[in-house]
């Protein structure tokens, strides 16, 4: 009997390895194996259940509870230099800030992969086609999540192909935090595209979106994840008749429950009418740029300009999406750019102002941002509201304030529907039209 179990176990493991290793790697490399890798953040350690001493446990080479998987690709520039691209659906995030060396005490190769915009990094020891280490966020106190990766594994959650119970493509009315009080729950709209077992999409909320999610549907179960160096998102759930029931995890410190259903009439609050200018309120500020230059409004520097002031943080991926949009808009519309003054007001996690300013300079250079980014305070909505007391509140990072040439506030836009959403193209059109009207 035991021999039969062992034979069956071997067959199952071999089958899974064949399915899982559909991506091959080039064996001619000097440091890290090139090609696609499967990385995993261990939000909680997986414990093998043991019923009795004769139990034979088979750990399939696939998704386990408490794991957040993602894919990345290693590409060599020459014999020694390489870069890494994080893959989330159609998004690729190129990482060139890589430190590679050898731990002499352990006789192992080590590597740090930096996400400079978000001040985080992956530290890993490398042994052949395996990495082991942790993801570290330097701006949070003792924020470390165990990490491991295997070369040549092109799947995300699992290589299995169990027939999906249904196609989840389309829009889903969503409520996050169903375990909380009604006033603490958050409305959202899930936007999914499914092809066979493969699932991609995002969730739009009234304060932003969850960016590029990728995953799988297996029978009645589904899973989605995203890792971009700033956030680690894991969604899991079940298909229940005409609804979805699931759990959301952000990193290893936050968990919440959510539900979704089909409703073509379900809407979110209008982004342009959620934050208001107080009666008689005037936008004004006096700050210094990271280089020490005074920036004051109102002042001659902003006269006869269309002003775009954005409340942001470098730790915020939605804010990064907005900065990319503004940078591209200015480059693609040089005539309009001459009549605009754009400033990013960054609320940072760095407690030291000098360190925050140094990071802002590096952030601006790294992203090729052509406008000023200034330190405005610590990273919370209360600080942002105190910096802009003319606003009734600040609900989200980012928040965009558009002011005409006569210094009248024309629009306050809460949140940002980024490129992962169905509303991104519509936002670009409306923004362009408004700027043209204000010329």
Classify domain 2-151 at the CATH class level. Answer: mainly beta
Instruction: Quickly tell me which residue has 């923004």 as its tokens.
Output: 431
Q: Which long-range contacts (CB under 8 A, 24 or more apart) does 191-196 make?
A: 191/421, 191/422, 192/168, 193/169, 194/164, 194/167, 194/168, 194/169, 196/161, 196/164
Pick from 350, 380, 330, 229: nearest CA to 290: 350
Over the stretch 85-136, which tens digit does the pLDDT of each residue have? 999 999 999 999 999 987 766 668 999 999 999 999 999 999 989 999 999 9
User: Helices H, strands E: what count in the chain?
Assistant: 6, 25
b/e sequence 207-246, b meaning 16+ C-beta within 10 Å:
bbbbbbbbbbbbeebbbbbbbbbbbbbbbbbebeeeebeb
User: Could you say which architecture CATH assigns to the domain 170-261?
Assistant: Beta Barrel (2.40)
Cα 273 from Cα 411, distance rounded (Å): 8
Nearby residues of 341 by Cβ (< 8 Å), 6 or more positions away? 301, 302, 305, 306, 307, 308, 371
Over the stretch 4-21, which tens digit does the pLDDT of each residue have? 434 444 444 444 444 444
User: What's the whole-number average pLDDT of the chain?
Assistant: 90
Domain ranges of the chain: 2-151, 170-261, 271-437
Cα 317 from Cα 213, distance rounded (Å): 13
**DSSP-assigned letters across all residues of 382-431:** HHHHHHSTTBS---SSSEEEEE-TTS-EEEEEES---TTSTTHHHHHHHH
pLDDT of residue 52: 39
Over the stretch 125-177, which tens digit does the pLDDT of each residue have? 999 899 999 999 999 999 999 999 999 999 999 999 999 999 999 999 999 99
Predicted confidence band of residue 268 (pLDDT cuts 50, 70, 90): very high
Mean of pLDDT values over 383-388: 98
**Least-confidence region, from 23-37, 65-79, 266-280:** 23-37
pLDDT of residue 8: 44
Over the stretch 305-358, which tens digit does the pLDDT of each residue have? 999 999 999 999 999 999 999 999 999 999 999 999 999 999 999 989 999 999
User: 113 and 98 in contact (C-beta within 8 Å)?
Assistant: yes
- H or E stretch at 286: strand 285-288
Q: Count CB atoms within 10 A of the CB of residue 5.
A: 13
pLDDT of residue 351: 85
Pick from 160, 169, 207, 165: nearest CA to 190: 169
Over the stretch 175-198, which tens digit does the pLDDT of each residue have? 999 999 999 999 999 999 999 999
Predicted confidence band of residue 28 (pLDDT cuts 50, 70, 90): low
Percentages (nearest 5) of helix, strand, coil residues in the chain: 20, 40, 40
pTM: 0.89
Domain 271-437 belongs to what topology?
A: Glutaredoxin (3.40.30)
Structure tokens belonging to residue 393 = 């509140």
Cα 237 from Cα 224, distance rounded (Å): 9
Distances from the Cα of 406 to the Cαs of 389, 390, 409, 438, in angstroms?
A: 20, 17, 9, 10
Backbone phi and psi for residue 37, each to the nearest 5 degrees, phi listed first: -120, 155
Q: Count CB atoms within 10 A of the CB of residue 186.
A: 16
Query: Do strands 98-103 and 108-115 pair parallel, antiparallel, or not at all (unpaired)?
Result: antiparallel
Burial class (CB in 10 A: 0-12, 13-18, 19+), 143: middle
Predicted confidence band of residue 45 (pLDDT cuts 50, 70, 90): low
pLDDT of residue 14: 45
- Does 58 have pLDDT greater than 50? no
Question: What's 8's DSSP letter?
Answer: H
Pick from 41, 37, 422: nearest CA to 231: 41
- Does 413 have pLDDT greater than 70? yes
pLDDT of residue 104: 67
Cα 71 from Cα 208, distance rounded (Å): 24
Predicted confidence band of residue 30 (pLDDT cuts 50, 70, 90): confident
Same fold, 2-151 and 170-261: yes
User: 147 and 38 in contact (C-beta within 8 Å)?
Assistant: no
Pick from 248, 165, 229: nearest CA to 199: 165
pLDDT of residue 106: 67
Nearby residues of 199 by Cβ (< 8 Å), 6 or more positions away? 168, 192, 193, 214, 215, 216, 217, 222, 224
- H or E stretch at 353: helix 353-367
């Amino acid at each position: 009997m035991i021999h039969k179990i062992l034979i069956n176990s071997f067959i199952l493991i071999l089958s899974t390895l064949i399915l899982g290793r559909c991506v091959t790697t080039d064996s001619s490399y000097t440091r890290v194996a090139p090609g696609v890798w499967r990385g995993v953040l261990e939000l909680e350690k997986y414990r093998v259940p043991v019923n009795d001493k004769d139990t034979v446990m088979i750990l399939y080479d696939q998704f386990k509870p408490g794991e957040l998987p993602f894919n990345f690709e290693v590409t060599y520039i020459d014999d020694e230099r390489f870069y890494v691209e994080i893959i989330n659906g159609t998004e690729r995030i190129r990482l060139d800030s890589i430190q590679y060396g050898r731990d002499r005490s352990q006789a192992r190769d080590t590597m740090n992969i930096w996400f400079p915009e978000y001040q985080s990094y992956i530290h890993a020891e490398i042994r052949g086609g395996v990495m082991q280490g942790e993801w570290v966020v330097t701006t949070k106190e003792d924020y470390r999540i165990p990490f491991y990766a295997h070369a040549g594994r092109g799947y995300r959650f699992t290589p299995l192909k169990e027939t999906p119970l249904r196609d989840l493509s389309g829009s889903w009315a969503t409520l996050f935090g169903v375990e909380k009080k009604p006033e603490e729950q958050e409305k959202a709209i899930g936007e999914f595209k499914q092809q066979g077992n493969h699932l991609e999409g995002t969730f739009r909320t009234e304060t932003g979106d969850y960016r590029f999610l990728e995953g799988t549907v297996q029978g009645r179960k589904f899973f989605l994840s995203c890792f971009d160096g700033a956030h680690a998102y894991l969604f899991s759930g079940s298909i229940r008749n005409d609804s979805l029931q699931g759990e959301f995890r952000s990193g290893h410190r936050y968990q919440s429950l959510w539900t979704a259903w089909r409703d073509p009439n379900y809407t979110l609050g209008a982004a342009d009418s959620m934050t208001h200018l107080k009666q008689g309120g005037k936008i004004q500020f006096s700050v210094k740029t990271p280089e020490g230059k005074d920036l004051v409004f109102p002042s001659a520097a902003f006269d006869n300009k269309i002003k775009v002031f954005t409340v942001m943080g470098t730790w915020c991926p939605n804010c990064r999406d907005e900065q990319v949009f503004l940078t591209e808009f200015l480059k693609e519309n040089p005539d309009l750019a001459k009549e605009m003054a754009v400033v990013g007001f960054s609320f940072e996690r760095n407690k030291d102002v000098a360190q925050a300013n140094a990071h802002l300079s590096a952030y601006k250079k790294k992203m090729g941002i052509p406008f000023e980014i200034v330190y405005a305070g610590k990273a919370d909505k209360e600080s942002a509201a105190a910096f802009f007391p003319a606003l009734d509140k600040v609900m989200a990072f980012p928040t965009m304030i558009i002011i005409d040439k006569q210094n009248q506030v024309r629009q306050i836009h809460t949140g940002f529907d980024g490129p992962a959403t169905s509303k991104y193209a519509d936002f670009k059109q409306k923004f362009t039209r408004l700027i043209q009207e204000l010329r």
